[in-house]
Amino acid sequence: MRFSVRMIGKKLSGMVVLCALVSSSSAYGQASAPIRVAIVGLVHGHVQGFLHSLPQHPEVQLVGVTDPDAALRRHYQEQAHLPAGIFYPTEAAMLKATHPQAILVYTSIAHHRAAIEEAAPLHIAVMVEKPLATTVDDALAIERLSRKYNVPVLTNYETTWYASNIAAYGMLEKGEIGDVRKLVVHDGHRGPKEIGVGPEFLSWLTDPVQNGAGALFDFGCYGVDLATWYMHGELPLTVTAVTLHIKPQIYPKVDDDSTIVLTYPHAQVIIQGSWNWPFDRKDMEVYGATGYVDTIYGDNTHLRIRLPHERAEHVDPIPALTAPEDNSLDYLSAVLNGKLKPEHDLTSLDTNVTVVRILDAARRSAQTGRTIRLADEVAGSHRSSGM
């Protein structure tokens, strides 16, 4: 193993980026027993894995599940072998009966705000599936709720828990490949219908209101999240997006292929989110001024690297992530127990409000064929509001 990669391991335990310890007097610093969590919504396909893994997690206790669809509740109760008594038809009834410390939201993306509006006034933390929201208005409303009631609102991305993404970031931060010049991010698969997602998932995933767009939001958000983190929360100067409708017979209402180009003063980001890849993809190329590092989808134990003055690239091993930054439940437990403060990282609210701003600009760019000068727009809105 080369020195440059081996040294990354010494920083991985703190690499959700500036996650400082919070005071033991924090509202979330007193819990020692497993945290009490509840699931809101059963229409997001990612919930299936969570319902199977949650009961076995030593730091998490599942106390409630809610969805308005009785047939869907019954399906998941039987599939996950859960007691009928923890299922409720409404979020309000569940929150009143079970008093969770956090909710995990598996509704459509457009329903995130409504779920948080019920939980935040009760000082219940929230983790939603990516992205945070479908509109900037919703993202800002969620941010206000988080601040008003002093509750964390987190956004879960599968790629947050990839050791390869964290290790590549560490090499860039240490200057091993020079200043960042270009990120190229690829995400997606053959299409949600093609891979056989459930009908309750497919119905809103292919709805431009409930999902925000098609592949542009579904898979573009991964790259926007990573780019925002790699760029330390900086807004891009410009956002340009192109979408295609390659399979209108399958996806009549939304795009199925997208490319987003973000420009920064000294770097460019290209994000390719698609429902038309021949194989699953979640990989990235990071180019610095003097070298590059590529992640390899399906292999979270190695990076493909070429450093300054090297004649060829090589594949080097990287260390695994360690708790509490190795998966979403460990991370959530650490936040609620006061061990981590979510700030400026892949999961935090500040990062994900910026992600929604960029996705909204990308959607408008694709619709109008224009480049959106996002940094100027946001600066102008702050001036007009007196911020």
Residues 294 and 374 in one domain: yes
Q: Is residue 23 part of a domain?
A: no
Whether 168 is in a domain gets the answer yes
267 and 318, same domain (yes or no): yes
Residues 240 and 320 in one domain: yes
The answer as to whether 258 is a domain residue is yes
Same structural domain for residues 185 and 236? yes
Residue 11 falls within a domain, yes or no? no
Question: Which of 137, 156, 175 is at the close of a domain?
Answer: 156
**Looking at the structure, do residues 245 and 357 belong to the same domain, yes or no?**
yes
Distance CA 169, CA 229 (A): 9
pLDDT score at 17:
33
Domain presence at residue 20: no
Residues 218 and 350 in one domain: yes
Q: Which of 140, 156, 172 is the last residue of a domain?
A: 156
Residues 93 and 223 both lie in one domain: no
Look up the domain containing 203 and give its range. Answer: 159-328+340-381
Looking at the structure, tell me whether residues 151 and 167 fall in a common domain.
no
Q: Is residue 8 included in any domain, yes or no?
A: no
Q: pTM of the entire structure? A: 0.91
Check whether residue 198 and residue 246 sit in a common domain: yes
Is 295 part of a structural domain of the chain? yes
pLDDT for 5 equals 38
Q: Which two tokens stand for residue 315?
A: 């594949």
Taking only the tens of pLDDT, the chain with its 387 residues reads 343 433 333 333 333 333 333 333 334 444 468 999 999 999 999 998 888 778 788 889 999 999 999 999 999 999 999 999 999 999 999 999 999 999 999 999 999 999 999 999 999 999 999 999 999 999 999 999 999 999 999 999 999 999 999 999 999 999 999 999 999 999 999 999 999 999 999 999 999 999 999 999 999 999 999 999 999 999 999 999 999 999 999 999 999 999 999 999 999 999 999 999 999 999 999 999 999 999 999 999 999 999 999 999 999 999 999 999 999 999 999 999 999 999 999 999 999 999 999 999 999 999 999 999 999 999 887 776 666
Same domain, 50 and 70: yes
Q: What is the pLDDT of residue 30?
A: 46
Locate 294 and state its tokens.
């590529």
User: Using CA atoms, how far apart are residues 303 and 168, in angstroms rounded to an integer?
Assistant: 8
Q: In the listed set 104, 137, 156, which residue is the last one of a domain according to the structure? A: 156
Do 106 and 70 sit in the same domain of this protein? yes
Domain with residue 364: its CATH number is 3.30.360.10
Same domain membership, residue 205 and residue 73: no
Structural domain tally of the chain? 2
46: domain CATH number? Answer: 3.40.50.720
User: Is there a domain that residue 19 lies in?
Assistant: no
